[in-house]
Amino acid sequence: MNNPINIPNIRIITVSGRIASGSTTLAKKLAEHLGWKSLEGGEIFWEQVRSKLNLSQTDTDKRPDMEDKLFDESLRQILTTGKNMVLETKLAGFFAKGFSDIFKILVICEDNANEDQTQIRIDRLVNREEINMQDAKKEVLERERNDIEKWRRLYAGDDKNWTYWDRQYYNIVINTFFHNPEESFNIVMEAIKKQEKS
């Protein structure tokens, strides 16, 4: 790993996105370039929870709320004290909304009409995880529905319009429908340079 690159006014970069939007690829590329620690918060935590409770990837609705609250506490602690870290997890940008020294990235895959390209995300998952189309559909559609229903209840007072991918929580939105991984990385780095000067 390179010596960490210090970015004035930014101590953490969060990367959030819907399943197979390209957030993990971008987070890893940023961490590698900056020499920062890469942390996939949700995956690390939920893997342990799923193993402990013998749940499948899509069983968000069967996960006790206490597990989410434990994750929230861990995430808030990281956001409060962390430095030189790229944190990739769905709720990172939402929870970091009050921190001015955290650069928050949202990754989407939407067409010109702002319609989510679900099938592209499913195809990406098939190729990335080497799973069949049916399992990928279940992962993207069912898991995402369970996640958002749970989080609306826990964090948004059951507001049916709330999503963690609401643009208001982020410094920049990267659309991987139009940009490949290299282009996405370059757009983010340009935005970070502008942030440094402001």
Category of 67 on φ-ψ map: left (φ > 0), alpha (ψ -120 to 50) or beta: alpha
User: Is residue 16 situated within a structural domain?
Assistant: yes
What pLDDT score does 115 carry?
Answer: 97
Contact (CB, 8 A) for 124 and 180: no
In a domain, 191, yes or no: no
- At residue 30, the pLDDT reads 98
Residue 48 lies in a domain: yes
| Within-domain flag for 197 | no
pLDDT at 172: 97
Q: What are the pLDDT digits (tens) for 100-150?
A: 999 999 999 999 999 999 999 999 999 998 899 999 999 899 989 998 999
Number of domains observed in the structure of the chain: 1
pLDDT over threshold 80, residue 46: no
**pLDDT band at 69, cuts 50/70/90?**
confident
Confidence of residue 54 (pLDDT cuts 50, 70, 90): confident
Reported as a single tens digit per residue, the pLDDT across 139-161 is 899 989 998 999 999 999 999 99
Residue 66 lies in a domain: yes
pLDDT at 20: 94
Nearest to 143 by CA among 123, 122, 112: 122
Per-residue model confidence (pLDDT) at position 49: 66
Q: What is the pLDDT of residue 180?
A: 96
The DSSP-derived string for 85-106 is: EEEE-TTHHHHTTT-TTEEEEE
Length of the chain, in residues: 198
- Binned at pLDDT 50, 70 and 90, residue 88 comes out as very high
Do the domain assignments include residue 196? no
Q: Is residue 194 part of a domain?
A: no
| Domain at 105, CATH number | 3.40.50.300
pLDDT of 170 reads 98
Give the Å distances, CA to CA, from 180 to 86, 107, 191.
20, 12, 17
Q: Is 77 a domain residue?
A: yes
